[in-house]
Structures are given as C-alpha cells and as structure tokens.
Structure 1
C-alpha cells in the first residue's frame, strides 16, 4: 500500500466544499479507503448522516459488533469518520446508524466502490488503484474531438442477457473481462462506434434492469469486480469502441439497506411525499435542493469518467426530474415558487452537472432521455436556460417512425407526414435517433414483430426502416437483438436468440444492418452535418400517393454526397423518375436487391422535382436505393 495516505483524510476544506455542493472529487474522501495512520494500515471510513444520533461502522473486521467502532463527527455538517486499523480490502461492511428515535438502521455505504452480489446487501472494501490503463491516446483524442460532427452509432446492450455462460452456473453471467472480447469483436464487425450499457451501477432487483440503483459508486458484482470492469472499458477502447453508461440521478428504490430514510430522516429524498416519491415507480426522488445530494450525484457522474474512463452518460428519466407533476394527479404535487410545474432545483442541478462535466471531462458526452418537448435540453450549459446536454434522445421521431412502420402499406399514404414531420424540428436539439430496449418490451413487440405482412414482408420492412434511420439526420442507437430481427421481446432472464442466425433470413437481416452501420461510419455526409440544416435536402417529401421518399445528405467537402430513394409499399416501380441535383454518374452503395439493381445511373435531361435533370430508378417492392455522387451543392466545409 502507498504509505502516504494523508490526502485521503477529510479536512475542513473538504467538508466546506461538500456543504457547498462543489467537491467534485468527494468520492476520494467519502466511503471506505485503504489508508495508513500512525504507521498502521487499515481503512478510513466516512459517511454523511446529518440527522443521526449515533453512527458506527460494522463488518468482517470487527465481527459486526458496534462497540468501540463509533464514528466521530468531522464537522457540524453531519459528516462522520473513523479509521479502523487492520481492516482490509475484500471485507464486507455497513454503517449502523441510530436515528433520533432510537431505530437501528444497517445501511450500505452510499459511496462504496463495490458491493456483495444480491441478495446480499453489504458494501465491500475495495482498492481501485493499480490497474494499468492502456487507453491514454484514446482519451486524449476524445478530449479534442468535436462530438457533434463525429460518427456515433450506438449498440445498446444489457450485458447480462447479451450472452450467457454455458457452464450451468446459477445466473449464467459472463465476467466483464470475458464479455469484453466477444462484445468488442461483434460490435466492431457490425460497424458500431459505441456500446451503451444498461445496469452497471449496483442494484438489488434484476427486473429493474439497473434503473433502481442502491450502489451508485459500485459496478455491479453480477459480472465481476471493479477492476474487471476497468478491463472491459480499456479493452473496448483498444478495439476502437466507446462506452456509454446509463445513469439514474432521478430516483432510487426504498430497499432497507439503500439511500431511503438513510439516518431515520429524509436525507437523500424530498421530505414531502408529493415531491419525494414517484407514485408510478414506487421509488424515492432525490432532493436536488440539498447541496450535499447534488454533490453526491454530480461527483458520481464524474467518478465513472475519472475512475473507469467512461465516454458518456445517458441520463435516464430526465422528464421525471423536470416536471413536478410527472406521474402525479391533480392536488398531489407541489408547484414551484412561481406556481409552475417545473422543478427549478432539478434544472439547476442538471445545468451544474453538464457545465462541470464539460469543463472537467471534455472527452465525455452527456445524453438526455427526455420524452417531452422541453426546450433547450442540449447545447451550451453556460448559455441561459439551456440544460447543457451534449445530445438528446429523439423520442418524437421514434414514436412517429414506429407507428408509421407498423401500418399496413396501403394506409401509409394517409400517414405520409409521420416520416416527414421530424425534419421540421430535427435541428432544434442535438438529437440521437433511438430504437431502444423500451420499444421491444412489455407487449410492444420486437422491431421485426412490429412490421406488417408475412415473414418476407416483415424482413423487407425492417431493412427499409433501418435504411431510413441511417439516412435521417441524427446519431443512431439500436438495441441488441434487433440487428438480426429477433422475434421475441427482450427479457433480462435469457440471452438473445442467437440460434436465429442459422436461418438465412435473419443472417441477411444482420448483414443488411451491418451495411447500414458501415455506410454511416464511412460517409462524412451522414454524421458531420447532423446538426446543420444545410446538410439535408429533400428531393421529394410529398409523394404520398406512391409512399416514396427521396432526399440527399450533403457532404461538407462536396465529395461523396448520398441520395436516398425509399419506397414504403410492396409495389415494384420500374424507371421511377426523381429529380437529380447534379449531372453525371450516381453509384449504388446500398440497395434492397443489389443483384438486379443497376450499379450506376446517369442523370438524363428532363425537369423533375425542381431540377433540370433526373434519374430513372428501378425500385423493387419495399425498394431501397442509396446512391453516391459528388459535386458542388453549395455547402461550406
């Protein structure tokens, strides 16, 4: 152990900054840290319990007996500390907190870096130092990257059900290290740039998928140790894949060992149940008005980037944070001081979080899952009312898009605007187009199951859907299993239906998704101008009678533009005429039936769609035709 551990112990400055909500490295102080005091090795414990009557630390090192292990207040702010000689890494512990009413509460450490595997609930003393990272170049490049103009295609993954062990173990979970190799190979081959992981911070109930967290600073023990997870991230970076974590600062569960009623009072949650409880979820809501709670969360987001080199955080349930009446009936919520339904404290928290994350860790992105039309969710966090996220999930696009795709093709001409409307607001935020886990559970059907028609029609429609998603402005996210057309809805209890890839239809589906992902990654026009209106142009947005959509994605250097022509009916259309923006050759780079589609087209004279030349395209049923062309379309690099 490093003998110089003086920096671990709490100082007056530490408690002051924590009380102000600005101690961004509080995780280096709070919790349990290996230390040396007076030449003796042990563990230094720190906990915040502002209304506690007494606080003890109990664990394997003292046979879980409190006598003689009472923690001492560091200041009058409710921070307690104790150095325990002889305590060591790997031992389990909890804080025994005596409330003002005399109730004995055995609580897991909110700042613990590891926890027991459920159903056990103790925290585990852990040493995070000593891992040899090999991703320095990756991190430095990410710091200099313009995230908005870079490619981002995300494979959303629940690693506990992506693949299972075949050795008959109880849960069948793979270790972080083992799954890193298989997942990196698969994701790289498919052409994705990032993985987004569900459920990494420790949680007690498998069915919550990790969205009801009890250990915000502890990678879940389901898949191994914290250093195993470090290896996972380091290996993904080695293979050129970024890692995004789902992060839940909106609410937490009521489990007895967790944050709820932490010292016998409402420490982390709002005291008023009209603000402090989510009636739909049965969870507690963080009290963002308390500096220490805000500090706990903001430092937690930074902790994952600092200690585990995470490339981004997708913030769950942002709408539930912003609206005081979210999920609440009339009379059961508390207006803000202006009489409105906006949570002013949550707004300030999110701005603070995004601003400091951008300043301290520019290599990491923040992503809001915000399901309403709340303005200025993404953008500069230091600019007025902007919340400051790097990106926002495009839930409006997702809803309209899936509703359109579910329609019988005959009725699509009456719903033509469901696909064009998203371009009316596409540049109001830095959007990510998402087809996430939420869309393939709870009787919503898998993506393939949503598609109309017989088996062949379903596969053709899903390929068409992914081709449109590829061409639409915005970064991309697709949930695991949907790339090869899984029939079953997703369940955390079983692995994906990989056996389907023995079927040629599913194999072709996977190959087509791969083509879309590689097309996206290899063409600048599909990502560099995502948030610049001049990067997109309709050829014809109004051909509702044929349900054909044609548009171009424009490259900033006028080289390798892409023309998309997509037909959303099973009608075969020979020599279908569309306007061509430039004279010359157009090369097919993605098609629904590339064996029979012409590899090269030449623009011919003849006005169409406002252009002086046109193309005659043979469109198969559910036709997909994407052409590369070059020339000056009037956009500056």
Structure 2
C-alpha cells in the first residue's frame, strides 16, 4: 500500500471506513505477488511469516502516524501465513490476520493467502424483488440451520457447501420457509461453540469448503427463492492468544480495562466498541457479508451484552460515567452499525437477539431507537413454552402466559423464535417439552405451531422442530432423520409444511404484523379456548383462529365472525393427514345470525380436543 492511499487509513482510524477488507489483510496485487496491511498500533515491529518463506520473517514497514504496517512478498494463493508481532515489551508473538478471507482447517489457526472470493452471481431477480417489496409487509418464516448437523455424509464427515446445495436448500423450500438463518459461519476453532466464539470475521469456515463455495451456496438459495441470514457476533471474541487477544501486545481490539474486557459468561474478551478502529473493523465485517457475500441480513447476537454495563456475571454494580447501567459505547456502536448498514442496504434485515425490555430496539434512530428492524421476542417464547409444558388442567389459572403478549406485541417489530437455545443443555426438544403421552405431545405441538404462525410477528423455527424430533439437538451428529419413518413424525412434518404454505399465501397473517389493526381478540377471557381474527389490509381479508387448549372435544362451539356469510375451515390440526384422529372434516360453515363476543354474527363448529381451526370467509351474502 502506498502513502497516496492514506485516506483509507484516515477513515479507518476515525471509525468511518466500512469496506476496510478491500485494503487490509493480504491481497494479490500481481500474479505471484501479495501485499499486506496490518493494524498494530503499539507494535515495535511486524512481519509476515508463512510456508512461502519457510516461515522466515518478511518485515513490514510502519506507515507513519497511522498505527498500520505494510509490505509485499512473493507467494502463491492457498499458502499459509501468520503475522509475527514484536510487542512493546520486546516479546515476539504469532497472530492471525484479522482480515483474512480463509483459514486452514482446525485445529490450525494459520490464515490462507486467499484474495476476495469470486463468484459469477446469478441472483439479480432475487435482489430486485427484495428491494421492491417492503420487508415489514411480506411473509417472513425463517428456518434456523446449523450446517454442521443438519445432515452429514455416511462416514460422519461434514457435507461441503456444494453438497449442501441439493441436500438442504430444496428441502427448506419445499417445507414452505422464506429464509434460512445460519448459525455463525465465520471461522472458529471449537465445534461446541457453534460459531459464537470466533476468530475470522471475514472468513467463511473452512469446515465446509473454500469461500467461493459458500458464495455459490448463497446464490443457489436466492435462485431458489430463499433468503439467507447469518448470526453475527460483534460483542466478543475468543481468548486464544494467537488470535485477536492482546493483538499487538496491548489491549488492541478489547477494552484496556481488564474488568470490562473480561466476558465471564462466555469465557471470551469483549470488543472495545468505543474504539474507532474497532468500529471500522466490525462494521466492515457486517458489510462484507451483506454487500460482498449477498446475505439478506444479520441476526446480531447477544445485544444485551452490548447494552448494559452490569449484564455479565460479577459486574452487577458496574456503572457508566453518568452513574447509569447503559453501556454508552455499545449503544453508540449499534446505532452507528445500523445507520451504516441501512444507508448501503435499505432492504437488509438487521435482527437483534436481545433478551431484556430495553425500549425501542427496533425503532428508527431518529426517533430515539437503536435502528434494528426486528427484535426476537424472548418473552413470548418463554411464556409460550412454559404454558404448553403444563398439564392442560393446570393451565386454567395460567392463560395469561399466552395473553400477556397481547399487551406489548406492538412495542417492537418482533420475530417469534423457537431457536436452537431452547432445545439444548437439558431443556428438551420442542416435542419432548409438550405434556401428555406421545399422541398428546404431537397434538399440543400442532396447536403451539398454530399459535406461532397466527400471532402477530414474524416466525423462526430451529431445524428438527418441524417434525417433532424427540432428542435434544446435538451439534456433533446429524438430525434424527430416521424419525420420519414413524407415521407420527411424518404427519407432523406434513402439518408444518401445510401450515407454512398456508401462512405464505394468506396476507391477513402477515401484512399487518406490526399494526394494531392486524389483530382483534374475539374470545379470550375463559381459560380453555382462544379465538381471534387476523386482518389483512384489503377489506374483508381476514383469518379467524380458534384454539382449544384442553383435551376435550367441544360440540356446537360458537365462533364469533365479523360478517354474515359462508366460511371455510382451511386447517384442522386434528386431521388424520397430520397424525390426528379426524377422518371426516367440517369444511363449509354458514353463519347462524347470532351475534357473539362483540361480532355481528357467528358460526358453529365442532372444536377438536387439543386442536386448532383456521377459518376464512368464502363468500359474503
């Protein structure tokens, strides 16, 4: 890099360079010739070492008043390299390149000389569609994936990115999902961390193949009509001494104060989010995945850890300079991140995994919000799972676990998540959480999924939940696909696919997710049944939802409806087709002329035991 290119460094040091990956790290500047740029502001010296030099040091030159070092050398793409840094104390340590695009397979930590991965993108129609359609008023039904354990080869080895294209993407599409959400694919060492303790902020993990193959995976998803979101972890990084920790011999990426740097909860180091160079580094990482790799969005992990001074264990009394709990640097960083992302990608999904009641997480920055466009609704998730785990006769005093969400469901733009975190570490799988014998567990699961798909908010389900896998998720082996030989599991999978496709083609279930006009409760004061109407934007566009939360069939159940006419039952969770017991189904309903629950008319149905019905107007009188 030449001195005449210093504007890049000026912006980087100001925290305003959002494509730093284009200049930092190693890039091939001519055939067989590579150039490298490194930020190590307190180093006495920096060199690059690798198999291209028999691991002998090739010194880099300091760029005055920038904290950066540069140099070039002869090498071949794919060769391994590390940085050799002489710290302020004179110690010589080897470190990764923070901007590397590829790494050697674990347990090694050397980067590979790999320039920006190349791909001939064929997803222009998808990109145009996403830019043309407002994100809030379209269906969003996310399938959360851990690529290392969805399926594996017969010998237990990982599928490659290329193998995943035919083995994962068509299945997700056929199941009726709109997007996949990938647990972090940035390079990480420990499989059991699931990618949340990472080191390579610009490198798709080598576990599944080279970076170009990951781009092919994204492109294939888009051409199939699937969006791709990835979990992204800007709050903290792994402790390993040859990665980012004490990078130049001082606290470079982490806080200088060891107490603030130490993330006790996850055994990692917290990024110093107030440091301008760290802001450039992290926002450039976000831009790399969104811009260069064509991802449709990022689910930002552990936002609460960046919002509060006292979030972590042992920090209960930590306060900011004003005496408050807020992490002022974290708040400013998140606003800066979202401002930068939406300036470049207004159609992007920026999703906060935030577990507290911090206000306006998904509100615009100019109105006092953090600027995300979605937030996970962890309260809804916890209350729902607690309710459905109860014996039905114990639920009578606890309907508020479901209805309490109605109090705050428009406070944020929510995604309703049944994520991987709820099916590990002894929490049991979704199906195993359900109460009763095996038949009733599936009946409860079907009703809970109707609650998910008809409650205001977008949707997320972790893999395996769609067919009621009994075992908890295990990251070290593939899902229990053998389950589908059981008619109950196969029926559950059919039910989920049917419900997903019904959701996608029913505007009343998603066009007004974030508008109070989108839902009207018609019957919810009793402890055993719920009835509500989801409204679309078009006149008379509605779906009536009825949930029976008890294992007792109800004859002549009166369902309030908004107008006289003929109605159709479009879904009955107790259909034999789904694993239920009903062979003959009610289809067409005529209004009775009897008002009910504030509605001008009603229909009578047989309400299945521990079942749910979805009803739509067929025609009007």
Q: TM-score with structure 1 length normalisation? A: 0.94
Q: Is the 8 A contact 1:560 1:630 kept in 2?
A: no
> 340, 350, 369: which one pairs with 1:356?
340
Q: Distance in 1 between matches of 2:409 and 2:601?
A: 29
Q: Distance in 2 between matches of 1:130 and 1:456?
A: 51
Runs of at least 4 residues off by over 4 Å: none
After the TM superposition, which residues 359-374 of structure 1 pair with which residues of structure 2 at under 5 Å, given as runs? 359-374=343-358
Q: Distance in 2 between matches of 1:558 and 1:384?
A: 31
After the TM superposition, which residues 567-578 of structure 1 pair with which residues of structure 2 at under 5 Å, given as runs? 567-578=548-559
Residue 102 in 1 paired to residue 90 in 2? Answer: yes
Equivalent position of 1:397 in the other structure: 380
> 538, 543, 546: which one pairs with 2:521?
538
After the TM superposition, which residues 437-476 of structure 1 pair with which residues of structure 2 at under 5 Å, given as runs? 437-476=420-459
Q: Is the 8 A contact 1:203 1:215 kept in 2?
A: yes
**Cα drift, residue 28 of structure 1:** 0.0
Structure 1 stretch displaced more, 463-472 or 611-620: 611-620
**Cα drift, residue 307 of structure 1:** 1.5
SS at match of 2:467: coil
After the TM superposition, which residues 18-97 of structure 1 pair with which residues of structure 2 at under 5 Å, given as runs? 18-36=12-30, 41-66=32-57, 69-84=58-73, 86-97=74-85
SS at match of 1:161: coil
Q: Distance in 1 between matches of 2:5 and 2:326?
A: 37
**Cα drift, residue 48 of structure 1:** 0.5
1:451-475, Cα deviation, whole Å (9 max, x unpaired): 0000000000000100111110000
Q: Distance in 2 between matches of 1:620 and 1:145?
A: 38
SS at match of 2:230: strand
> Structure 1 residues 271, 528: CA separation in 2 closer, same or farther (over 3 Å shift)?
same
**Cα drift, residue 273 of structure 1:** 2.1
Q: Is the 8 A contact 1:274 1:334 kept in 2?
A: no
Q: Distance in 1 between matches of 2:538 and 2:599?
A: 21
Residue 504 in 1 paired to residue 487 in 2? Answer: yes
Which structure 2 residue ranges, 5 or more long, are not aligned? Answer: 576-582
Equivalent position of 2:99 in the other structure: 111
Which structure 1 residue ranges, 5 or more long, are not aligned? Answer: 1-5, 633-637
SS at match of 1:492: coil
SS at match of 2:254: coil
Q: Distance in 2 between matches of 1:439 and 1:327?
A: 21
Q: Is the 8 A contact 1:128 1:227 kept in 2?
A: no
1:205-244, Cα deviation, whole Å (9 max, x unpaired): 0000000011010000000010000000000001000000
Q: Distance in 2 between matches of 1:24 and 1:431?
A: 28
**Cα drift, residue 589 of structure 1:** 0.8
Q: Distance in 2 between matches of 1:403 and 1:593?
A: 23
1:568-610, Cα deviation, whole Å (9 max, x unpaired): 1101101111222111011111102343331011111223211
Q: How many residues align?
A: 613
Equivalent position of 1:341 in the other structure: 325
Q: Distance in 1 between matches of 2:514 and 2:259?
A: 39
Residue 525 in 1 paired to residue 508 in 2? Answer: yes
Q: Distance in 1 between matches of 2:64 and 2:533?
A: 63
1:516-548, Cα deviation, whole Å (9 max, x unpaired): 11111111111111001101101112121xx10
Residue 478 in 1 paired to residue 461 in 2? Answer: yes
> 545, 554, 576: which one pairs with 2:535?
554
Q: Is the 8 A contact 1:558 1:631 kept in 2?
A: no
